[in-house]
């Protein structure tokens, strides 16, 4: 792996995933998924494992894609259902709605916190002339960033609502990241991606981004796709200032 540094003579913008990178919400997502899947799996299969099932099949994917991917790993097929299914109905939409309801109840009750090291990095990047964007596959991405009080640190946000409106595929497809960079009017080669989930790390490499940083807080990612791996963004140095594009 390379030295943990963002060189702003080469990188002019940085795109941050939201859950687990900007907001300390990954544990809440994982706990909500475990609650929903364990209730569904009872009598069908082994319980949902956060260290294995969540990281391998669910983390970083759009909600419904995560359900399909996980159930496929267990050899379970469910009907798709519909967005107006009752939460907890044994359909893809029903399980997704149950998880969403449980997670948002936690958010409303306890709020959302931003990682201090991420906030410090964002301030430093912007001080040195870099542009920043937040990306989230969640329909609640904007609400989470706003609740964490860090909206002012981003030039723009691309979330699940944008993906739905534009029919953008979810990670590991790089479409969400590429849309953020398109709005920032920079080529991917001059932008960085900061991710904490395997599908997002893969998306960054597939999208041709000049720098892919993996935040491996628990030593579980073991990804060869990232250019740099850190356990916390406080380990990541910033060098130089953003230079203007030349023709």
Residue with tokens 């850190």: 230
Asked if 7 is an active-site residue, the reply is no
The owner of tokens 């940083």 is 213
Active-site residue identified among 19, 65, 159, 162: 19
Asked whether 4 and 236 are in contact (CB, 8 A), the reply is yes
Q: List beta partners, residue 228.
A: 213
17 has catalytic annotation: yes
Rounded distance between C-alpha atoms, residue 214 and residue 233, angstroms: 9
Catalytic residue selected from 7, 17, 49, 65:
17
C-alpha to C-alpha distances, 222 to 67, 158, 197, 216, 219, nearest whole angstrom? 23, 27, 11, 8, 7
Name the one residue in this structure whose structure tokens are 């399980």. Answer: 95
**CA dist list (Å): 107 to 29, 158, 204:** 10, 20, 28
Q: Which residues are catalytic?
A: 17, 19
């Amino acid at each position: 792996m390379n030295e943990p540094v963002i060189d702003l003579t080469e990188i002019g913008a940085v795109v941050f995933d939201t859950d687990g990178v900007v907001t300390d919400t990954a544990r809440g997502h994982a706990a909500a998924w475990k609650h929903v899947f364990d209730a569904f799996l009872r009598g069908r299969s082994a319980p949902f494992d956060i260290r294995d099932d969540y990281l391998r099949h669910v983390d970083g994917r759009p909600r419904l894609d995560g359900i399909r991917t996980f159930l496929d790993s267990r050899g379970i097929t469910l009907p798709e259902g519909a967005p107006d299914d009752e939460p907890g109905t044994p359909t893809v939409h029903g399980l997704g709605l149950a998880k969403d309801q449980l997670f948002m109840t936690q958010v409303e009750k306890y709020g959302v916190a931003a990682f201090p090291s991420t906030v410090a990095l964002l301030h430093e990047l912007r001080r040195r002339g870099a542009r920043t964007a937040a990306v989230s596959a969640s329909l609640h991405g904007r609400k989470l960033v706003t609740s964490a009080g860090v909206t002012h640190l981003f030039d723009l946000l691309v979330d699940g609502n944008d993906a739905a409106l534009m029919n953008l595929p979810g990670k590991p497809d790089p479409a969400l990241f590429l849309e953020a960079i398109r709005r920032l009017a920079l080529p991917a080669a001059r932008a960085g991606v900061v991710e904490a989930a395997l599908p997002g790390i893969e998306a960054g490499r597939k999208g041709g981004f000049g720098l892919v940083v993996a935040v491996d807080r628990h030593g579980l990612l073991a990804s060869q796709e990232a250019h740099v791996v850190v356990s916390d963004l406080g380990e990541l140095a910033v060098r130089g200032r953003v230079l203007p594009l030349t023709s």
